Amino acid sequence: MKQPTRNPSRGAVARAPAADARAQRAAGAVTARTRLSDRWHSWLGHHREMAAEALRRFFATPMASAMTALVIAIALALPASLQLGMGNFQRAVAGWDGQPQLSVFLNRGARDTAVERFTEELRSDSAVAEVSYISPEQALAEFQQSSGLGDALAGLGANPLPGVLLVRPARVAETELEQLAARLRESALTDSVVLDMAWVQRLARLTELGQRLSLGLGLLLALGVILVVVNTIRLHIENRRDEILVVKLVGGTDAFVRRPFLYSGLWYGLFGGLLAWLLVAVGVGLLSGPVAGLASSYGSGYALEGPGLTYLLGLGAGAALLGLCGAWVAVARHLRAIEPH
């Protein structure tokens, strides 16, 4: 019997479509796979787009946006002014003649060269701002003049008063003053060290009171800023309710819907912080002249220190963070009620 002959071309043609189909499926799978870098660029691009859109919406209603930012600025300017005032108060106290002073009574037998060397060592110490030496002769002359007992002291055979070093510390913290006094007592040239801690303690209590008041007021008004942003973003959500429903109907995630409102809160907080810095700077400018005149009447060159660049960055960043938190609270609460049925 005649064997049937195979057509090699027909088999090849039959196998070709299957191979092409497998190749197309493989090619389609590669095309549909999204790389991590593509996702990253898409995520960044959407963030840039939403930030620009939120900024455009901010300036689209300048009056309403300015009023909201001004309310935030006033709430932030109060604790910021108090904190800046505490810093200027501490600077003023540090340069005042009534600041703490240590009286170091030296041994009567101490040599002048040793006293001079000890004085220079103290002046090079970072914890010491100023050192003044009163010799036994100067101490006796001042005592005779102030006490009115000059004739009685003149009859003494020898000067009973020792030399004294008046040490003005660089820092007025109570613990640092006690450490400095302890180091001075360890010297072989000193008989005793006298430090009046009553003034230091009163100053420390006053400073602590101001700091706690500033902190409490800051926390209270920060909560007020968050509530202002929550109310503002809630109105934005209600105005865009239909848009949010459409986005969720086509598969938009909560993160996608949330993002523009978060950037709106961030812009409100940032511009509020910048306005708060401007208000504080204007206040310092108005007070700097009278304060300088008052200081000059006491023979001091003290001047108010205004809010610098670091203060601007800190206030702006903190306000932006508060605005972001307020927007997050508003979105988390009100977006749940907007769901397509």
User: Which among 90, 171, 119, 203 is positioned nearest to 179, based on CA atoms?
Assistant: 171
Complete DSSP assignment for 276-339? HHHHHHHHHHHHHHHHHHHHHHTT---------HHHHHHHHHHHHHHHHHHHHHHHHHHGGG--
Residues 330, 285 within the same domain: yes
Domain count for the chain, please give it.
2
Clarify whether residues 57 and 178 are in a common domain. Answer: no
pLDDT of residue 177: 80
Predicted local distance difference test score (pLDDT) of residue 258: 86
Please give the residue range of the domain that contains residue 191: 102-195
Mean pLDDT by groups of 10 residues along the chain of 341 residues = 46 45 48 70 85 91 92 92 85 63 82 85 85 80 63 60 83 78 85 75 79 88 92 89 84 82 94 95 90 79 85 92 93 78 66
Q: Are 265 and 233 in contact (CB under 8 A)?
A: yes
209 and 275 assigned to the same domain: yes
Integer Cα distance of 91 and 88 in angstroms:
5
Evaluate whether residue 10 is within a structural domain.
no
For residues 78 and 207, state if they share a domain. yes
Domain end residue (candidates: 152, 171, 195)? 195
CB burial of 195-216 (b: ≥16 within 10 Å; e: otherwise) equals beeeebeebbeebeebeeebee
Statement to judge: residues 314 and 214 lie in one domain = yes
Check which CATH number belongs to the domain holding 113 and give it.
Answer: 3.30.70.3040
Same domain, 216 and 331: yes
For 261, how many CA atoms within 13 A lie in the half-sphere containing its CB?
A: 31
106 domain-assigned? yes
One domain, residues 70 and 110: no
Residue 292 lies in a domain: yes
The confidence score (pLDDT) of residue 190 equals 84
